[in-house]
Amino acid sequence: MADTPRPMVTATPAALDLIEEIKVRHGADLLFHQSGGCCDGSAPMCFAASDYITGPQDVLMGEIGGVPFYMNRDQYERWKHTTLTIDAIHGVGGMFSLDNGTGRRFLTRSEVCL
């Protein structure tokens, strides 16, 4: 039996609930991009898919709640041995992220997998 590859990104129930709330407010055509540290630290940012253009510099890590999750290729090279778990906690979301204004924000937790 072949080993099942580990998921590169997963989400907690709290994050999945927040994703569903955002879908109701903004529509289902969303995407996540893991911020690389500028402006909003290293927060996962949620956008309407039409508001963020991905390109060859972005790596699709997987999907959470039916929403694609991307990371910049350079950042991916540093994080490729980690599993990311996206959580939702009380707080203020990133300035441009759709979680802003909900009273909750997305948070990336990481676990190194060697």
In a domain, 2, yes or no: no
In a domain, 3, yes or no: no
Judge contact between 83 and 100, C-beta under 8 A.
no
Strand partners, 59: 71
Is-above-0.85 flag for pTM?
yes
In a domain, 44, yes or no: yes
CATH number at residue 71: 2.60.300
Cα separation of 79 and 12, whole Å?
20
Judge contact between 89 and 81, C-beta under 8 A.
no
What is the mean pLDDT of each successive set of 10 residues along the chain, which is 114 residues long?
Answer: 68 98 96 75 88 94 96 90 94 87 93 74
In a domain, 4, yes or no: no
**What total number of domains does the chain contain?**
1
In a domain, 56, yes or no: yes
Domain range holding 54?
9-112
